[in-house]
C-alpha cells in the first residue's frame, strides 16, 4: 500500500478536471449571447457562482501536493528568494482578504438572492485560497531553508 503522502499526491491531480469544469462555467455565459447576459443576468451569475465553487475545489485539491517539490524553474526562483516569496504571499493574502470579505459581506448583509448565491461561491474560493496560502508558506519555508543549508554547508566535510 502506498504511503498517505503518495495517496494525497495522487488525488491532488483531481485539480485538473475541476479546473476544466470551472473554465467551462467561466465561458458558458458568453456563448449564450451578450443580450441574455444584460437582459437576465441570472444565468450569468449562476455560472460565475459555479465557476467560483469549482475553482475553490480545484485549489483545495492542489494544496494536497508535496510542498517540498516545485513544478517549474519560475516557482523555484520565487520560493528560494525571500523577497519574491514575501511579495507573492502578501499578494495572495490580499486577494484572499478581498474575496472572503466580498463573499461574507454579500452573504450576510445583502437581501438580493442572486448576489447571495455568488457570495457562496466566493466564500468557497476564498477558503480554497487559504489552503493554498498555507501550502505556499510551507513551500517558501522549505525552499529557503534548503537553499540556506546548501549555501552554508558546502565547505563542511563529515568524518
Q: Note the pLDDT tens digit of each residue in 60-89.
A: 998 888 777 767 788 778 888 889 889 999
Question: Do 122 and 106 contact (CB within 8 A), yes or no?
Answer: yes
Cell of 58: 480545484
- pLDDT at position 157 over 80: no
Total structural domains within the chain: 1
Please report whether residue 80 resides in a domain: yes
30 in a structural domain: yes
| CA atoms 132, 137, 141, 143: torsion sign | positive
pLDDT digits (tens, 9 = 90+) for 8-52: 888 989 999 999 999 999 998 888 776 677 777 888 889 999 999
> Does some domain include residue 133?
no
Residue 144 lies in a domain: no
Question: What pLDDT score does 15 carry?
Answer: 93
- Percentage of the chain modeled with pLDDT above 70: 88
- Per the model's pLDDT, the better-predicted residue between 33 and 159 turns out to be 33
Provide the pLDDT for residue 146.
Answer: 67
Mean pLDDT of the chain: 85
Residue 72 lies in a domain: yes
Residue 37 belongs to domain spanning: 4-125
Amino acid at each position: 500500500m502506498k504511503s498517505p503522502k503518495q495517496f494525497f499526491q495522487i488525488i491532488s491531480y483531481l485539480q485538473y478536471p475541476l479546473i476544466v469544469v470551472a473554465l467551462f462555467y467561466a465561458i458558458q455565459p458568453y456563448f449564450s449571447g451578450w443580450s441574455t447576459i444584460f437582459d437576465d443576468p441570472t444565468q450569468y451569475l449562476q455560472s460565475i457562482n459555479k465557476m467560483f465553487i469549482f475553482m475553490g475545489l480545484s485549489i483545495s485539491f492542489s494544496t494536497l501536493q508535496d510542498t517540498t517539490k516545485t513544478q517549474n524553474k519560475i516557482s523555484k526562483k520565487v520560493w528560494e528568494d525571500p523577497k519574491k516569496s514575501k511579495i507573492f504571499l502578501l499578494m495572495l493574502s490580499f486577494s484572499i482578504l478581498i474575496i472572503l470579505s466580498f463573499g461574507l459581506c454579500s452573504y450576510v448583509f445583502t437581501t438580493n438572492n442572486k448576489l447571495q448565491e455568488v457570495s457562496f461561491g466566493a466564500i468557497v474560493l476564498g477558503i480554497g485560497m487559504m489552503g493554498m496560502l498555507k501550502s505556499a508558506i510551507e513551500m517558501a519555508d522549505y525552499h529557503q531553508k534548503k537553499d540556506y543549508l546548501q549555501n552554508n554547508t558546502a565547505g563542511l566535510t563529515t568524518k
